[in-house]
Amino acid sequence: MALLGHLINRSLQIRKNFSIRTGTPRGYQQQVLKRLLKKAKHTHFGKHYQFNSLLKSEDLYQEFKKTIPYHNYNQMYSRWWKFCHEGESDVCWPGKVKYFALSSGTSDSASKHIPVTDDMIKSVKKAGFKQFYSMQNFDLPPDVFGKGILMLGGTTSLFEQGDYYEGDMSGISAKNMPRWLSFLFYKPGRSISKRPKWEDRIRLIVRKAPQWNVGTVCGVPAWVQIVFEQIIKYHKVNNIHDIWPNLSLYIHGGVSFEPYRETFKNLLGKKITFIETYMASEGSFGFQARPDTKGIRFILNNSIFYEFVPFNEDNFTEDGELLPNAHAYMINEVVENQKYAVILSTCAGAWRYLIGDVIQFTSVKLSEFIIVGRTKQFLSLCGEHLSVDNMNKAIDEVQRALNIGIKEFAVAGYAHEGHFAHKWYIGCDDYCNPEEVLQLIDQRLAKLNDDYAVERESALPYLFIEILPSAFFIEFLQATGKFGAMNKFPRVLKNSQLKEWQQFLTLKAGQPST
């Protein structure tokens, strides 16, 4: 395996010396859109919206926008994907769908069934190789690729449902991984990863950790943090490098890493490289391609067409629903420092599909961006326009200022005594003064967000806080059927989720909630 790692690193160095011709973002995306429409023109969706005629248009994108409506998940599923689910072929993409990724996300309670086609599996693999080649830009140990790769994802034991299989997207990807790669590098290995219960996989990973020479870890920060903590505790060591001395790379995604950064420092014995990716049940969209930058770079030539809708009152309702007449832009039309909701058309049969993420471009030239929230996880009761990115930065500053670890948090907004209030739920196992934490959060948010500062002087006079054991957040996910590697605790609690959370806390406290 050491020899193979050396050969891999040598191939990266050789590739680095070649000058590779690249196209423009607009050119790549125009080609992708045309290819998607050509391949899907004989599907039910393609015939309904007359893709053949669209392809003859002088301005393909403008006609595409006029012809195809936006879709959220419920619209896409009820009108089209349910027929894929029932086994029908050629619905939104050629052929029969063999896999469905189960995704509940953070906004809805019911499981979503996202089609995963053979072409999408190829797209995900291609994205993985593109990210692998980008590793030459980072200062990594020369032998990092000869070590094991621990992937903390969903179970690879997919559920057979007649003509198709369903499960986590990470499990579907792992199941379709080349066997040689799985055999040589993939941890925890097939025997553990196929176990359906996440808690069983954690237990076995913790027990077997010293048997593996892990150089890279991939997974959602909250769950990687839990696994590291349990390994350290079970084996009675000081930090994770006492178990895996060659660990040098952590590839993360799903949520912002900033609230977890300080806690991770306490779990490590030395510095490692952190690289962010952008992957969801709908596909693999990009990765951090340069060191010393927080921007993720879109992959623009990988069978996914992107559109960007400014996230503002002209295009969205207060509940984060996309308006039918919202104006979308191509990658070459966006500007920096504006919030955009991401719209996808993909080789899995998603068409003008609102994925729910809100991004902000940090470099239009390089197609780099940061994820700042979700369309339904912005808190704006009275015009405060509070984003998840604002919250993450505030929590990070509180941890630094008070030298405490905040493992999870959430905030809810509601009417209170003729005005409005925010209530913060903070998962912290260190001693801290709740009022001091709340004051620091408030001060940081006022600096970050002018709208918040204005509303705090008028419509938003009330702030509340509750410091909770961090285990409560994980127990809540378990109690609501969302206990697993790909599930995240919602940062903004609204409607039914807020009621479920309040009921859960009432049960934990054994007394009525206020």
Phi, psi at 370, each rounded to 5°: -120, 150
CA atoms of 99 and 120, how far apart (whole Å): 10
Edge-first strand order for the sheet with 353-363 is 186-187, 148-152, 214-219, 249-252, 273-280, 283-287, 296-298, 368-374, 353-363, 339-346, 304-310
Rounded to 5°, the CA angle 160-222-494 comes to 85
Helix (H/G/I), strand (E/B), else coil: 34: helix
Q: What is the DSSP letter of 325?
A: T
| Segment 370-381 mean pLDDT | 86
Asked if 371 and 357 touch (Cβ cutoff 8 Å), the reply is yes
Position 387 confidence tier, pLDDT thresholds 50, 70, 90: confident
Note the pTM of the prediction, 2 decimals. 0.82
Q: Which secondary-structure segment (H or E) carries 407?
A: strand 406-416
Length of the chain: 514
Which of 73-77, 269-273, 316-320, 342-346 bottoms out in mean pLDDT, i.e. has the lowest? 316-320
pLDDT confidence of residue 486? 60
Which of 11-20, 250-259, 323-332 bottoms out in mean pLDDT, i.e. has the lowest? 11-20
Position 170 confidence tier, pLDDT thresholds 50, 70, 90: confident
CA atoms of 256 and 393, how far apart (whole Å): 10
Preceding peptide of 188 cis, ω within 30°: yes
SS3 of 201-229: the string is HHHHHHHHHHHCCEEEEEECHHHHHHHHH
Which of 28-37, 152-161, 216-225 bottoms out in mean pLDDT, i.e. has the lowest? 152-161
Res. 1: pLDDT tops 90:
no
- Reference 87, options 162, 168, 185; nearest CA is 162
Portions of the chain given CATH number 3.30.300: 388-509
Fold classification of 1-376 is: Rossmann fold (3.40.50)
List the structure tokens of 284: 């693999």
Helix (H/G/I), strand (E/B), else coil: 255: coil
Asked if 177 and 186 touch (Cβ cutoff 8 Å), the reply is yes
- CA torsion through residues 13, 15, 16, 17, sign: positive
CA atoms of 335 and 360, how far apart (whole Å): 9
Contacts of residue 212, defined as CB under 8 A and 6 or more positions apart, other chains included, come to 148, 150, 187, 188, 244
Residues 436-489 have pLDDT tens digits of 999 999 999 999 998 899 889 988 999 999 999 999 998 998 888 776 656 778
pLDDT confidence of residue 17? 47
Portions of the chain given CATH number 3.40.50.12780: 1-376
DSSP states along 329-341: B-GGG--TT-EEE
Asked if 347 and 123 touch (Cβ cutoff 8 Å), the reply is yes
pLDDT confidence of residue 173? 79
Residues 398-409 have pLDDT tens digits of 999 999 999 999
Residues 254-266 have pLDDT tens digits of 777 887 888 888 9
C-alpha pair distances (Å), 198 with each of 151, 165, 189, 349: 13, 19, 14, 30
Res. 412: pLDDT tops 60:
yes
pLDDT, greater one: 494 or 510: 494
SS3 of 127-184: the string is HHHHHHHHHHHCCCCCCHHHCEEEEECCCCCCEEECCEEEECHHHHHHHCCCHHHHHH
C-alpha pair distances (Å), 411 with each of 245, 387, 391: 38, 11, 9
Q: In the CATH scheme, what architecture does the domain 388-509 have?
A: 2-Layer Sandwich (3.30)
- Reference 438, options 418, 457, 415, 462; nearest CA is 462
Q: How high does pLDDT run on average in the chain?
A: 88
pLDDT confidence of residue 258? 81
pLDDT confidence of residue 43? 98
